[in-house]
Chains A and B, each alone.
Chain A
Amino acid sequence: MELLQNLALGFGVALTFQNLIYCFFGVLLGTLIGVLPGIGPVPTIAMLLPITYALPPVSALIMLAGIYYGAQYGGSTTAILVNLPGESSSVVTCIDGYQMARRGKAGKALAIAAIGSFIAGTFATLVVAAFAPPLAEVALKFGPAEYFSLMVLGLIAAVVLASGSLIKAIGMIVLGLLLGIIGTDVNSGLQRYTFGVPELSDGIGFVVVAMGLFGFAEIIINLEHREHREVFTKSVSNLRLTWSEFKEALPAVLRGTGIGSALGILPGGGAMLSAFAAYTVEKKLAKDPSLFGKGAIQGVAGPESANNAGAQTSFIPLLTLGIPPNAVMALMVGAMTIHSIQPGPQVMTSNPQLFWGLIVSMWLGNVMLVILNLPMIGIWVKLLQVPYRLLYPAILVFCCIGIYSLQNNVFDILLAVVFGILGWIFVKLECEPAPLLLGFILGPLMEENLRRALLLSRGDPTVFFTRPLSLTLLVVAGALLVIVALPMVKKKRLEAFQEEGA
């Protein structure tokens, strides 16, 4: 019954007029930007972050969460109508969603995506509410050694589950950790890697890194491709699903919800992995798998439910352990820090209103998404027709102002250009930027815990292996690495990600 009480507390916070408005605006703005092709949730959140500076922390986080779901959902709309995934988690939606659109069923595809996302969102909210408190209790018993090992596991798992070369991904993490060190060392007061630049003494802002690596680099790559896009907008009118279509899709929605809720909790998991896994499962279970890739409704329903559930449950590691499982959550950590909240197990006890308010607002955000998206789909479609040549300069303007407003400083804009160059090089070298962002956020935390753990053990490094919990975490991390490096699994993994990229 404690759960109900907590949820009631959450509703009390989330249902205030003010917070409802912020949640609504978050979802609206998130969808607005997320619908625009070629902008994923990471730059969307980074771009809209300045709007939340002036808000009280609870409202700010509610709004940011709304932006996240909105961006996520907007990306699906783009995937279905333009065959262009706004973000990695809607890559699979493209496959069958776009085919449905080409066969005149765009409205139906959008409808099942919305319904599926709503069902998944509702369930995932309950999962978060039920699992977060016990996990946080465990996390409160963690010492520095456990925290360090947990972060190692989190980072390793994040790269194992991501696509691409393992060594490069680990390298990107390490590079991120190094970038996180830039600034004043808390223990000695020494300025590290600041090159005498006063603006660097507080470290590099995570928005600067995210905008450069994700925002600017993405725009450049889009411009290099010079594609012409075909938008399917004429057939959007018919949003109604027939009963038989609904019956066909519902099991896929439920399976997707389950898969997404489970995988979202894993580090590196979240939305993309969930969507991908759900698509594979649907294809395996289908009576006629040959329909997939040709507009199968299950191929939209499953992944769309899964990515929404995964997007939501990936808040669990963030809220209970303070460890972001993916790049979006890494941004959330940054956002919370700006509002002087240190994410971790203590949030629930020290700030229950924020915690439960956020959880309830997740569900409210999902309700708003459905209300907002189905009737307003015409507006989103209009937005999709804005040509990219007009879109990207506008994105650049918002990015630049967003970066400037962090510290009212042009230095950050210049720094973002440097990260833009880096991001472009990374794309060329096929180095994923997401692990770098994770490492960047976790860098200072990891050093601090390593330091403390070894201080407590008087320099004895075996402390990580003699404490059972820490040992378990490290063994799991090691096992993951070994498993992925096995030739057989390596081949499977490659196949899996190739199919997804197709």
Chain B
Amino acid sequence: MGLIRHPKDFWAGVLFIVLGGLACIIALDYAMGTAGRMGPGYFPRSLGTLLAGLGAILVLRSFRLNGEKLSFPTFQPTLIVLGAVLIFGLVLNYVGLVLSTIVLVLVSSVASHEFRWKEAVIAALALAAFVVIAFQYGLKLQIPTWPPVFGG
């Protein structure tokens, strides 16, 4: 294992240092003010420093404490699920609710180890119908139903 004995703490620490550091650096542009008349930079910079400090403690500690390794059994679900949501967000305004729902369901279904094509298609159609009835007609949310070329 070498130097890092507690990888989870180590990487959490690194994450905190990076995010805290970034928060501080960006906040350098915001006026600090004084304690009595706080500028917009005061609170963020204090928090960023605190976060980076906590991260540093975690990193240092990870050289001494023992902990489990990080485990990444598979990246597939992460990529597929978030990818499906990303696609939904990107196409919603262009193709409307029905088509984007179908795409979201079909793409995300692939992430399961029990995936079946036929079932996914039926689920996608059923959900699209339900969503239109519930959200469009029931709750009257403002979402385009069809692609704009169809006059939806």
A-side residues, CB < 8 A to B, are: 50-51, 54, 165, 167-168, 170-171, 174-175, 177-178, 181, 185, 187-188, 190, 192-193, 216, 219-220, 223-224, 226, 387-390, 392-394, 396-397, 399-401, 404-405, 408, 410, 413-414, 416-417, 420-421, 424-425, 428-431, 446-447, 450-451, 454-455, 457-461
Are A226 and B30 interface neighbours, CB within 8 A? Answer: no
- Give chain B residues whose Cβ lies under 8 Å from the Cβ of A451: 38, 42-43
Q: A188-B40, A397-B127, A455-B38 are in contact. Are A171 and B58 (CB under 8 A)?
A: yes
Q: Are B40 and A192 in contact (CB under 8 A)?
A: yes
Cα A458 to Cα B40 in complex, Å, equals 17
- Find residues 51-69 in chain B having any chain A CB closer than 8 Å to their own CB: 51, 54-55, 57-58, 61
Asked whether A168 lies within 8 Å of B40 as measured between CB atoms, the reply is: no
Contact A410 B93 (CB under 8 A): yes
B101 touches A397 (CB 8 A): yes
Residues on the B chain within 8 Å of A168, using CB = 9, 12, 58
Chain A residues near B40: list those with CB within 8 A: 185, 187-188, 190, 192
Chain B hits for A226, CB < 8 A = 113
A425 — which chain B residues lie within 8 A by C-beta?
Answer: 15
Complex interface: chain A residues within 8 A of B143 (CB):
401, 404-405, 408
A181 touching B139 by the CB < 8 A rule?
Answer: no
Of A167, A175, A393, which contacts B109 at CB under 8 A? A393
Q: Could you list 10 further interchain pairs (A-B, Cβ under 8 angstroms) beyond the known A397-B131, A454-B38, A458-B36? A: A177-B47, A178-B19, A178-B23, A187-B40, A193-B23, A223-B77, A405-B135, A421-B82, A430-B12, A459-B35
In the complex, the answer to whether A454 meets B35 with C-beta atoms within 8 Å is yes
Interface pair B9/A394, CB less than 8 Å apart: no
Q: Shortest distance in angstroms between A196's beta carbon and chain B's nearest beta carbon?
A: 12
Q: Which residues of A contact B27 (CB under 8 A)?
A: 192
Residue B123 CB within 8 A of the other chain: yes
Query: Could you show 23 A-B contacts with beta carbons less than 8 Å apart?
Result: A170-B54, A171-B16, A175-B19, A178-B20, A192-B30, A219-B81, A223-B112, A389-B116, A393-B124, A393-B127, A396-B81, A401-B143, A408-B142, A410-B93, A413-B89, A417-B89, A420-B81, A425-B15, A428-B8, A429-B8, A430-B12, A459-B34, A460-B36
Chain B, Cβ-Cβ closest to A412 = B89
Is B150 interfacial (CB 8 A cutoff)?
no
Whether B145 sits at the interface, judged by CB under 8 Å, is no
Give min CB distance, B46 to chain A, whole Å: 9
Contact across chains for A392 and B108 when beta carbons are under 8 A apart? yes
**B3 at interface by CB-CB < 8 Å:** no
Is the C-beta of B92 less than 8 angstroms from some C-beta in chain A? yes
From B20, B85, B115, B116, A216 is in contact (CB under 8 Å) with B85
Chain B hits for A175, CB < 8 A: 16, 19, 51
Is the pair A420, B92 in contact by a Cβ cutoff of 8 Å?
A: no
User: Do the beta carbons of A216 and B19 come within 8 Å of each other?
Assistant: no
In the complex, are the beta carbons of A396 and B72 less than 8 A apart?
A: no
Q: Is B118 an interface residue (CB 8 A)?
A: no
Residues 113-144 of chain B, each 1 if its beta carbon lies under 8 Å from chain A, else 0: 11110011001100100010001000111110
Is B146 an interface residue, CB under 8 A from the partner? no
Which B residues are in CB contact (< 8 Å) with A408? 142-143
- Could you say which residues of chain B place their CB within 8 Å of the CB of A165? 9
CB distance from B62 to the nearest CB of A (A): 11
Min distance, Cβ A434 to any Cβ of chain B, angstroms: 16
Is there contact, CB below 8 Å, between A171 and B12?
yes
Q: Which of the residues B34, B58, B85, B97 comes within 8 Å of A420, measured between beta carbons?
A: B85
CB-defined contacts of A188 to chain B, threshold 8 Å: 31, 39-40
* Option from A220, A387, A404, A457 in Cβ contact (under 8 Å) with B81: A220
Known contacts A171-B12, A408-B142, A394 near B123 by CB under 8 Å: yes
- List the 4 shortest-distance A-B pairs measured between CB atoms, nearest first: A459-B36, A413-B89, A223-B77, A389-B112
Q: Given the interface contacts A393-B108, A457-B36, does A405 sit within 8 Å of B141 by beta carbon?
A: yes
A171–B47 CA distance with the chains assembled, in angstroms? 10
> Which residue of chain A lies nearest to B34 when distances are taken between CB atoms in the complex?
A459
| Contacts A178-B44, A216-B81 given; does A417 touch B58 at CB 8 Å | no
Chain B residues near A460: list those with CB within 8 A: 35-36
Chain A, residue nearest B138 (CB)? A51
- Of all chain B residues, the one with the shortest Cβ separation from A428 is B70
Q: Roughly how many angstroms separate A420 CA and B44 CA in the complex, as a whole number?
A: 24
Residues in B neighbouring A429, C-beta threshold 8 A: 8, 11-12, 15, 70
